[in-house]
Structure 1
Amino acid sequence: MEKNEKELVIPENCLPVEYLIMGFTMYDILAIGICVVIGSVVALSVYHRTHNSMIAVAVIFAVAIVAITLWRRDRFTENIFNKI
């Protein structure tokens, strides 16, 4: 069997990623917070139109879940926006 001697490539000039919570940097948490605030405004407007608090709470949870899914970083420090 032949041994493939490939040189190990180490990326240079990359900024270190500091996670506040595993998978989320400060920027990611700020973006999720902004999405939740916008979702809360939308939920309040939905509540004022329908007078149904269950729909308003569902809107807030849906926005939060989508935001967390979009901004969570994987083991390669990429989120959905970076992959697209």
Structure 2
Amino acid sequence: MKPPCFPTSYCVHTNLLELVNTFTMLVDTFAMLVDTFAMLVDTFAMLVDTFAMLVDTFAMLVDTFAMLVDTFTMSMQQLVCTP
């Protein structure tokens, strides 16, 4: 149990300090929430970039395979068409 507050100004001062501390914790919590959301957005952006790089890599693989087929086709034409 709390002892009685004397003088009254001390009680008001203590209550105001508790109110300020509570408000400060609320602002800090909100700031951490905003930071967490920003990190989540950054993570999602990195995921999208990674997926785009994966698609580009697959496209380069397909192009490389197409060039290989073209090279093989030209080689076969050279062999067949050479008198």
Q: Which has the larger radius of gyration?
A: 2
- Name whichever structure is richer in helix by fraction: 2
Under a length normalisation based on structure 1, what TM-score does the superposition of the two structures give? 0.35
Under a length normalisation based on structure 2, what TM-score does the superposition of the two structures give? 0.35
Point out which structure has higher relative CO (alpha carbons under 8 A, 6+ apart): 1
